[in-house]
Structure 1
């Protein structure tokens, strides 16, 4: 065994019902005096509650999915005018993503307060979209200095969105199993993350207002993000970044739909990952375990349900091919990728995918 693993320098505070007091303590610990609170309009009331005791210099509500460059530039300018010395993000991945875009150029710390299961708060990955192209990168400056996890803040997240967001987190775990920088620690974290999400999401379905399922899912989200940030972006995320940036598809639902097709494509050529994922699900195979979970939580099924046109499939093939990770377990061709995307567009059974043959139906 030989590997190099880098642990991200981040403080994680996990306690249900304590977001406001924990957040105040974390901001004080950083010595911040002029805080910029970033929260979408839909989260404004919640953000007001958890940030009431902070020295807020600016509240920012323009939050847009996939973080368009022009939105980031406006937020950066406002942060500079108000001489902000700390960013507090209250919300999901788009909100955290905007805070990261500001930190990338302003070099100020972020304290993230997640209200979904996006996982962006635990990674050093940033993403910006310009002219229908999403660009991502890794930079230590965008890693939130602290994360305040409070499961009560996710209770208001509707069950369908909770499912999609949780499956997005699970996609981090799966991609981490064969990411370009994967190591044994990443795989261990990802395995535990899959198990936590596979038990947490059905509990959220059964009792949306209950905390045990929400806490379990939030815990799995953190593990998934740490594993993914270390292992690097695999085929699944490359596909979803192209689809999201190019066609403005909803982030979580896109990940939830695409995941089983990438897993069915890669797993036969990644037997160790297949075994680990299957074990985390308590299933005979990785795809069996994932499909069982997707059935139990009524997961999103087809890209055509979320705005992707059939003609977009062929258009996306080359854009994805240009960013396929070199170390993917299985070679990716235009034909195999077209078949994968067409299957995801239709929502066909991923276990029936052929070995890279173009689907001519």
Structure 2
């Protein structure tokens, strides 16, 4: 070993005295992003992964053909301007192309938003519990997360969030439907909230699950965006479109903000394959909408079955249900896993279960019935 090489103590930790590299202190304060567990089950039992809010269906034939077409040219860099997808999505959403910005999933675009809006010590306000990437992206940008607890129905307390806005607030995140709890924010609630938030604060309406929403009073992000220059709508192709493995998300923002998001994005972040698959998915939207309707029907069947068992769960407008079990969360997650269902536990707060195949959903009902309503 050279005299400049790093050594380690008995625990395998680089020591500063021995030339250990200096990393940002914030890394030691970051919560870990926990991915959904892979499917596993006892011998003879079919395993189901219901831990990651994935679409249980594979790509449509037309989308799979587009993926194959793109795979033949992966020796070339993708179009950094995402021009073809921008044009197609612009027509699909009826928004100007200059209002669109893309990234490797909506979580990447979320980071672009916070990076573009926040300096060191600025604040980002969001509900908690909500999407677990929010505090991570905030800390990495050098900003301070301001977390406002949900109400007893696991819904956003927008009055409390408005009260938490200060002169250091640069971004507010509104997840609707809320991940992991399920309820959506209502349109009148958000309008009243926006009346209280300064116009120079970016308000992100995170609609990763918008295609599953059936609540007639729910926020419609694009309608809100058209009326408010400080609103950004965040969406993804990962959930309803079933492209989670290709990582493409986008924001709809007014031109100055959208330009800033493109400026802060990783160059060539959205692959050629992802762009072609997203375009093919938009072209096949009617077929995809039938699949979404089937998932919604299964969600409603599961919700009704759980209610019949005596469970009192938050109303979900997403592709999952949430069990706010507190300290019983570990036992319930274990019972699911022993039955071959991998679920997503959130510490001692609760357990989220994705709506999957019919057989998986029926097995969830069996496990929940045996566990007993809480």
Please say whether Structure 1 and Structure 2 have the same fold, judged by a TM-score greater than 0.5.
no
Structure 1 length normalisation: TM-score?
0.32
Q: Which has the larger radius of gyration?
A: 2
Structure 2 length normalisation: TM-score?
0.31
